[in-house]
Structure 1
Amino acid sequence: MARMKFLCDAERCIECNGCVTACKNDNEVPWGINRRRVVTINDGEPGEKSISVACMHCSDAPCMAVCPVNCFYKTDEGVVLHDKDLCIGCGYCFYACPFGAPQFPQQGAFGQRGKMDKCTFCNGGPEEDNSQAEFEKYGRNRLAEGKLPLCAEMCSTKALLAGDGDVVSDIFRNRVTVRGKGAEVWGWSSAYGKPEAPAAAPAKGGA
């Protein structure tokens, strides 16, 4: 069984926000809710990188662990979904999620929380597949149509990958190999920004 995952290639992301726009338009996401957003690190400085962030559909999702009403559930393909009819808007999932994926509509001057909303991997919700009730609550169910999330399909540079985790990993692994960084792509210099130690000079032969 496929395990659906997202992966954003920071070497390719150009911060065009096409993925954000595609998600909002296709799912008719309410104003103030961003199921996907683009985050830029070191903006305007050397080493600037951008990455598209949404719900990562974790294998061991912290949002599921802290929800007091168990509104979260996981599909056979590993997509983490939620039931808005059960959600009480407590916000625990928002504080538990390291990606800030759960979103809450701000209603009134004091920010009273409504029903939680988040990326569904374009997999809808507990209602009947592709029904009007499902679309109104969770957006389009593209997986039921045999399609991948629109955010990934609309990415102009193919920085955002979505689909079976094994296939996505293979695609990214091939890209890294072609770039020539090899096994050192996640090495000390990449993680901490420190230069690699210079190679030792070859020993001179004796006379």
Structure 2
Amino acid sequence: MVENTYGFLVDVSRCIECGGCEVACKREQGVERGVNWRKVVTVDEGVEGKEEHWPMSCLHCSDAPCATICPVDAIDQRDDGIVTVDEDECIGCGYCIYACPFGAPQFGRDGVTGSKGVMNKCTFCVDRIDEGKEPACAANCVTGAILAGDMTEITDEYKERVAKTGKPIVSP
């Protein structure tokens, strides 16, 4: 188990279901049409006062079940907690899809991602992280609903928001 230092927190009270995070992810990562590494899910749709929008993606779990079940060790976790996929090692078996409770691992529309026939998922924009930037979804969230980065820092932000509003923030 890796101690996560990077992760996401989502302030669902701020999400307006604009889809900016989905578009930013697709643009940054070149994710094909029909595949969503970041998607906004509506909960309690149509229920007055209860409807919420949750921007969902891979949570880069500290004990990632997708990495545990991968028979060829194509899924790995960096020291900072970011879960990555080695597309050259992936055999496309799909075990990770069944192991992940959040639906993060995905194949493309034709059952493959790209021409390799392998799975892929949110990368936490690892290239951007390595450059000292935040993931594209968080950087492009116009309402600041997606908090991403060092868990100590974003947890402090979370606590400040809860103190101001008195309402807990859901972290899907």
Gaps of at least 5 residues in structure 1 are 124-140, 191-207
Q: 2:35 aligns with which of 33, 36, 50?
A: 33
2:147 paired with 1:145:
no
The Cα of 1:60 is off from its aligned counterpart by 0.3
Aligned-partner Cα distance in 2 for 1:154–1:112: 28
Q: 1:16-37 deviations in whole A, cap 9, x for unaligned?
A: 1100000101221122221100
- TM-score with structure 2 length normalisation? 0.89
* Structure 2: unaligned runs, 5 residues or longer: none
Contact 1:33 / 1:117 at 8 angstroms: preserved in 2?
no
Higher RCO structure (Cα 8 Å, ≥6 apart): 2
Structure 1 residue aligned with 2:24: 22
- 1:38 counterpart SS class: strand
Larger-gyration structure (1/2):
1
1:79 equivalent in alignment to 2:65: no
Structure 1 outlier segments of 4+, above 6 Å: none
Query: Paired residue for 1:162?
Result: 148
TM-score normalised per structure 1: 0.74
1:165-198 C-alpha deviation (Å, 9 max, x unpaired): 11111111111111134xxx49xxx9xxxxxxxx
Shift of 1:106: 3.5
CA deviation vs aligned residue, 1:74-133 (integer Å, no higher than 9, x gap): 1121100010011111111011111100010143xxx4782101000011xxxxxxxxxx
2:135 & 2:120 partners in 1: Cα distance? 16
Q: Structure 2: how far apart are the matches of 1:41 and 1:33? A: 20
- Residue of structure 1 in register with 2:11 after alignment: 9
Give the SS at the match of 2:154.
helix
Total equivalences in the alignment: 164
Percent identity between matched residues is: 50
Q: Which residue of 2 aligns with 1:196?
A: none
Offset at 1:7? 1.0
Provide the alpha-carbon RMSD of the alignment.
1.9
1:1-207 to 2 correspondences below 5 Å: 3-46=5-48, 47-107=50-110, 111=111, 114-123=117-126, 141-181=127-167, 185=168
